[in-house]
Structure 1
Amino acid sequence: MGGFLGFVYRQWTVKPKPLPPALSLSGKTALITGANSGLGLEAARELVSRRLSRLIIAVRDPSKVWPLDHDSYESIAGFGKRTEKLERLDYALLNAGVKMMSYEKSALGHETNVQINHLGTSAVSLAVLPALNKTSKKFNTSTRLTIVSSEGHFWIPFKERTASNILMHMDDPKTFGTQQQRYYTSKLLNVLWTRELASKISPEEVVVNTVNPGFCYSGLHRHSASFINVFLWLFAWTPEQGGSCLTDALVRQGGSHGAYVSEQRLTAPSPFVLSPEGATVQKKIWSETIALLKQEAPAIDMSMVA
């Protein structure tokens, strides 16, 4: 798992399957971030086709659905408060993300991949926890929170891990790296955050996992170099197949918690994540993220993990 040849083999041989037609999500409510296009949209369509009672699509454009901007903590806090007013929230799929190929500073002052993919996603995960927890207690059922990561978390050196403050260090343009390194690092942060978040929440209340949707045709690649089109032609899954990977991780994979789901099965994350050093960095990333959010986003409810 994790090597280029393994990646090629899986992309050519694995054929993700949609949810069983007989599976019914009647009575359930789900929210998906970044579901206005691509894999998120296909996941939304598949959930609705399985008789989901209510679907909330959260994107930056407020004219379309529930507004949610990962580069605004005010937006994230408001979104969380709105979810708490729902009658129930059974599933939350945090799919929104970017892949920036050159250094850009976000509106909040952090490197954009880190802000949108890690800090924003982490803040949203905390903001929706109260609604998921309330549902689990009210209806005596486990709810599910799934964060979209990437197999790319296997492939980066993560040199920033030795810095005294990792997240602050990653705001320095000199640390950005080349090509997709920073994007893949942000996906590693997703895995580390998910594992630590899961350690602080009972799976009987909220099951927390992360998922690799595979390499798929998607607008995510719009900032990539032109040669990406060759890789897409050779190896990519369809958006529908990627969406099925997301829905599978969201509503199936029973008995999991803090897990990494890839090719629609529970899979070991990268050796670094499982190493003693990875465990130490995982807790460091958690502490730094919580401290940053307490300072920059005090309106977000963090009581479940305090």
Structure 2
Amino acid sequence: MGFIYSQLFVRPAYPERSFAGETVIITGSNVGLGKEAARHVARLGVSKLILAVRNTIAGEDAKKEIESSLKCDPSVIEVWSLDLSSYDSVKAFAERASKLQRIDVLLENAGIATDKYSDAEGHERTITVNVISAFLLALLLLPKLKSTAKQFNTSPRLTIVSSEVHGWCKFAEWKEPTGKIFPALSNEKTANMGERYPVSKLLEVLAVKQIAPKLANSGVILNILNPGLCHSELGRDGPWFLTILKFFLARTTEVGSRTLVASAAAGTESHGKYMHDGLVAEGELSPFVRSKDGEEASQKVWKELSDILEKVSPGVTQNI
């Protein structure tokens, strides 16, 4: 009932916090929640806004549309290529972004939802895109976020867009021995693609639980959020029941995007926390995440994920 009540009766606050003087990166920002979040950030006076997108043609269209709707200066928004299914693309993007004068917000919104198995970089594509590459990008840019905090006496935000569906899966794979969870998820013969998107969102939550304490004195705020069920391009390749749920319960794209902007603007009270309807709401985490089993799963997942990240980019976990 909490889900239905939130979808039908809770309206996240309209974003008002200024982003003047700041540099913001939003992944997956050519469509849906990412684009509407970018529109809000541009409206709120951001100095530099980078649309990090796989489809740069669509990204340029989004840039023009946002500029037209807000009459903002064309120099503010830039479109950069980022394909999360390719580690080389992630590393190239991070190298380019690290040369920026500052990064005040890295809003990781891009993701996929599909019930069809395919492979990317040796793992099932959803796991590669939503989990491995998302944290690869985060860790590669942490040095820049930290230096921004020191140089400009500010608190950069690293925000991961998750979902309440993290609690809608069994995630039986967590009981595998350490080192076997990700291989189990990427075994085409046994992969449970029906719960793959929820599992990817759960993995994000579990990883953040391990990373956030390590960033406590870094000046960087790490939070994770649930935007609710929204009308967006996410799920266009997903299961039929998602389409039905959207028809009856989904928020508009603009209203859903407010939750992204709320997390991107949040203060230290949000560090390491889960945000729901634009507010810190740890009680909205699934019972599994808050359980003893959840803590064990979190440690196992992070150990495996950090090992994978080290193989992709040696030394990257030291950036934490």
SS of alignment partner, residue 199 of structure 1: helix
Q: Counterpart of 1:150?
A: 163
Which residue of 1 is the match for residue 221 of structure 2?
A: 207
CA–CA separation in structure 2 for the residues paired with 1:288 and 1:252: 30
| Matching residue of 2:318 | 303
- For 2:152 and 2:53, how far apart are their aligned partners in 1? 28
Matches of 2:133 and 2:218 in 1, distance apart? 26
Correspondence for 2:73: none
1:96 aligned to which of 89, 94, 110 = 110
Letter in 2 for 1:129: L
Match of 1:283 among 299, 306, 313: 299
Given that residues 30 and 89 in structure 1 are in contact (C-alpha distance below 8 angstroms), is that contact kept between their aligned partners in structure 2?
yes
1:219 is paired with a residue whose SS is coil
Contact 1:33 / 1:40 at 8 angstroms: preserved in 2? yes
1:259, 1:229 → 2: CA distance? 29
| Residue aligned with 1:286, SS | helix
Amino acid at match of 2:190: T
Q: Distance in 2 between matches of 1:285 and 1:226?
A: 29
Alignment partners' CA distance in 2, 1:203 and 1:105: 38
Q: TM-score, normalised by structure 1?
A: 0.92
Q: Structure 1 residues 18, 254: closer, same or farther in 2, change over 3 A?
A: farther
Give yes or no for contact 2:11–2:255 (8 Å, CA) kept in 1: yes
Distance (whole Å) between structure 1 residues aligned to residue 190 and residue 311 of structure 2: 24
Q: 2:232 aligns with which of 193, 210, 218?
A: 218
Partner of 1:47: 41
SS at match of 1:153: helix
Give the equivalent residue in structure 2 for 1:6: 2
Partner of 2:139: 126
Determine the C-alpha separation between the residues in 1 that align with 2:83 and 2:111.
Answer: 11
Code of the aligned partner of 1:293? L
The Cα offsets for residues 85-127 of structure 1, whole Å up to 9 and x where unpaired, read as: 1111111100010001122222x12111111101111111111
Unpaired segments of 5 or more residues in structure 1?
none
CA contact (8 A) 1:148 1:210 kept: yes
Q: Kindly, what percent of the aligned residue pairs are identical?
A: 38
1:2-41 correspondence to structure 2 within 5 Å: 5-20=1-16, 23-41=17-35
SS at match of 2:224: strand
- The CA distance in 2 between the partners of 1:159 and 1:228, in whole Å, is 22
Alpha-carbon offset, residue 270 of structure 1: 1.2
Q: Do 2:309 and 2:317's aligned partners in 1 also have CA atoms closer than 8 Å?
A: no
Q: What is the CA deviation profile of residues 233-286 of structure 1, one whole-angstrom value per residue up to 9, with x for unaligned ones?
A: 210000001111100011025412110001111112111111122112111111
**2:128 pairs with 107, 111, 115, which one?**
115
Gapped regions of structure 2 (runs ≥ 5): 61-78
2:51 is aligned to 57
2:187 pairs with one of 172, 181, 184: 172
Indicate if the aligned counterparts of 1:145 and 1:250 stay in contact, CA closer than 8 A: yes
SS in 1 for 2:235: helix
Give the structure 2 partner of residue 184 of structure 1.
198
TM-score, structure 2 normalization: 0.88
What is the CA distance between 1:84 and its match in structure 2?
A: 1.5
Structure 1 residue 178, shift from structure 2 partner: 5.1
Q: Deviations over 1:200-250 (max 9, x none)?
A: 112551000100011000111211344533322210000001111100011
**Where in structure 1 do 4 or more consecutive aligned residues deviate above 4 Å?**
none
